[in-house]
Every structure is written in structure tokens, then in C-alpha cells.
Amino acid sequence: MTRRKFLHCALGTSVAIALPQTSHALMKRSTVIKDLRLHNLHTEEKISLSYFERGNYVAEALQDINYLLRDHRTGDIFAMDPVLIDLLYDLKNVLGTERPLQVISGYRSPKTNAALHKKSRGVASRSLHMQGKAIDIRIQGVAAKDIRAAAISLARGGVGYYPRSNFVHIDTGRVRAW
């Protein structure tokens, strides 16, 4: 058998072996439904929806999430990072809860962020909230320290713990905790 014929057979065998696994992975991905329940504590708005179905994000659901997570002070709406939304989904699964995630802060306009930064050293001047890549949450019946531990275990961004205010900051920036 020539080297060329051997490589051709080896490639064909590799593809044949990998194909069932690949098709199984694609089929599994396409059947995944990701859902969230969110409650904006400032506006009292609540949503319960599936935002990912049949292997794709549901555009209308993402728009609903963006609206709920808008800057409640200015009314500005911003496209939230789908990676952040997926992180929230994974977080609720790690915690084993179906309770709504209570939102303290989602998107912040530059104007709102500047005003909050003036009042508090705890608000970053270049906050990821302004990029739709951060959220501050709590979950009724789940200790903030447990939310923090679960978020840190995912190792997919920043995690801030604010026990006095009873909330956890989660973002899709570099992995860090405070």
C-alpha cells in the first residue's frame, strides 16, 4: 500500500469514526432549550422565557431581556451580551434553582454610571454595565455567598460580592473576584 493510499484510508476512517459523535453533538445542541426567569426590582417587571432553542438564540426573547435589563433611570436599552445571558443560565443550573433572578442593575448608560461613580467609589468609571456585559443580582432564598461561590466555580468572568447590600455582581470580563 502506498503512503498516499494509506493516508487516504486513514482520513476516511477518522471521518467515519468522528461522524456519529459530531452528529450526536449537533443533535444534542439543537435540542437544548435555555430558559430564564428575571425580575427587575426597580421596575417590578418580570419575564419567564426561553431565549435559546433549536441551536439558536431567540431574537424576540433577547429583545425582551434587553428591555427588562434597560437603564431604569434613563430608559436607555442596550443589547446585552449573550455570553452573560448564558452565564446566568449556567449559574441558575449550578445553584439548582428555578427561582427568578432578581436584577438590581443590568445595563447602565454612561450618564447613569458617571452619576453613580460620583456618589460611590464602588462604581467603576469604566464599568462593564455600560457595555451590557455585567449584571447585579440576588435570588430569593439563596444566600449571596452561595451565588458568589457558584459564579466563581464557573470561572467565566468577574464576580463581586456585596454582602451588606445582599447582591452579587457578575460580568463577562476577565476572571477575577472581589
The reply to whether 13 and 49 lie within a common domain is no
What mean pLDDT do residues 23-35 have? 65
What would the pLDDT profile of 112-128 be if each residue is shown by its tens digit? 999 998 888 778 878 99
What Rg value do the Cα atoms of the chain yield, rounded?
Answer: 21
So what's the pLDDT on residue 4? 55
8 Å CB contact between 101 and 141: no
So what's the pLDDT on residue 123? 82
The reply to whether 43 and 129 lie within a common domain is yes
Number of folded domains that form the chain: 2
Between CA 78 and CA 107 the distance in angstroms is 7
**What is the β-pairing status of strands 56-57 and 176-177?**
unpaired
Between CA 144 and CA 167 the distance in angstroms is 6
The reply to whether 51 and 114 lie within a common domain is yes
Rounded to two decimals, what is the model's pTM? 0.81
What mean pLDDT do residues 149-153 have? 98
The reply to whether 3 and 75 lie within a common domain is no
8 Å CB contact between 162 and 144: yes
What mean pLDDT do residues 9-23 have? 49
The reply to whether 81 and 103 lie within a common domain is yes
The reply to whether 3 and 40 lie within a common domain is no
The reply to whether 101 and 138 lie within a common domain is yes
65 falls in which pLDDT band (50, 70, 90)?
Answer: very high
16 falls in which pLDDT band (50, 70, 90)?
Answer: very low
So what's the pLDDT on residue 109? 97
Instruction: Provide the residue range defining the domain that includes 49.
Output: 32-177
